[in-house]
A and B are shown apart, each in its own frame.
Chain A
Amino acid sequence: QKEVEQDPGPLSVPEGAIVSLNCTYSNSAFQYFMWYRQYSRKGPELLMYTYSSGNKEDGRFTAQVDKSSKYISLFIRDSQPSDSATYLCAMSRGYGQNFVFGPGTRLSVLP
């Protein structure tokens, strides 16, 4: 079993839809949870991070962590064509610890 699992997609949605992206993980020691966005032919860039369980909101993006279920989610409201990218979840056991990345979900938002 992989340490971090993520549905690879591709996921296609119409503009304006609410998008839900998810990761599951097996290591209960993970404390920091991150979402990276990667546009085609670019390196990943940090979108959001959360520490331990709970929600975090930033504009149209909401990150949720449920440590009891070992499940994290990223919600995108009012999705835009510019949100079309691959979304990678990442997690680490602690501050300064290395990341473990999910394989990424490719999202297409159709105008």
Chain B
Amino acid sequence: DVKVTQSSRYLVKRTGEKVFLECVQDMDHENMFWYRQDPGLGLRLIYFSYDVKMKEKGDIPEGYSVSREKKERFSLILESASTNQTSMYLCASSSLAGGPSYEQFFGPGTRLTVL
């Protein structure tokens, strides 16, 4: 069964803290993605990766960085958390061999609150 897991369901951090969000997939997928989901704005792509040690900026990369040292793991880093980064963060993965649907499989999300 396809599985994408995220390290925390809920996280509360203080302004200025460094925050790590971890995502692991067990499907040997090449592609991994980080989105944030906000009411009225939908899912917005932060960063994605097509291969180990490779990363590409999405639509809203400012204030974030990522790391992909192993194929199954993709980390999102908030170098200095700010209150406007309070959001639901969703990780997804997909396979280049997934066919025309190019289906992305999502984790359950991490709800991050920055105080």
Question: Interface of A with B (CB < 8 Å)?
Answer: 4, 6, 8, 32, 34, 41-46, 49, 51, 88, 90, 92, 95-96, 98-99, 101-104
Is B4 within 8 A of A43, CB to CB? yes
The verdict on A104 contacting B106 (CB below 8 Å), with A43-B4, A44-B90, A46-B101 known, is no
Which of B4, B103, B107 contacts A46 (CB under 8 A)? Answer: B103
Number of chain B residues close to chain A: CB under 8 A = 26
Complex formed: what's the CA distance from A35 to B35 in Å? Answer: 17
Residues of chain A within 8 A of B96, CB atoms compared: 96
Contact indicator per residue, chain B 92-115, by CB within 8 Å of chain A (1) or not (0): 100010001111111111000000
How many A-B pairs with Cβ below 8 Å? 57
Residues of chain A within 8 A of B33, CB atoms compared: 98
A92: nearest residue on chain B (CB-CB)?
B102
B58 within 8 A of A: yes
Is A46 within 8 A of B104, CB to CB? yes
Residues of chain B within 8 A of A96, CB atoms compared: 96, 102
